[in-house]
Amino acid sequence: MAKASSRGMLTWLGLAFGILLLDQISKGLVLLFFRLGEVIPVTSFFNLARVHNPGAAFSFLAQAGGWQRWLFTAIGIAAAVFIVWMLRAHAGQRLFAFSLSCLLGGAIGNVIDRLVHGHVIDMFDFHFRWLAPLFPGGHFPAFNVADAAITVGAVGLIVDELLRVRRSR
């Protein structure tokens, strides 16, 4: 039983590490090939860009003066520790563990950025005219692989909980 649990835990930590690796490689390429603020159109609705975000999602607290770097770093580290603890207890629950792994890889990816650069490096810029009432020029806030993984993880947790509630009826 312990070996199966350890194997499951290693699988989920491996997934988190893969996400972290993909995130850091993509950010490294952006730092290598893009100047700050540079935008390269890819399609009519998608650009690759180099954006530095000292805040959190949607640039929350981006103009706060620097203290937010340490707050968001501490939150990310605390979340990672909690997620690893949860993974140990629930490695056999596939959707739940998958979701936690996505959250873990994304959280650590953004923590590394904050520690190394003082901000998070974003590169994916989607824009649609119908978003203009919500976002300047219709540009959804730029994001990165870690942010996408965190979003997938959050959606997975919601779906897992809905399925759990449905099964208990």
Active site residue 23: no
pLDDT the model gives residue 167: 87
Average pLDDT per run of 10 along the chain, which is 169 residues long?
Answer: 68 97 98 96 96 71 61 87 94 94 96 92 95 90 96 97 89
Whole-model pTM: value is 0.87
- The catalytic position among 23, 113, 125, 147 is 147
The domain segmentation of the chain, as residue ranges, is 2-168
Active site residue 160: no
pLDDT the model gives residue 96: 96
Residue 8: half-sphere exposure toward Cβ, Cα within 13 Å: 20
- The catalytic position among 23, 113, 122, 160 is 122
107 and 151 Cβ atoms separated by less than 8 Å: no
- DSSP 8-state secondary structure symbol assigned to residue 144: -
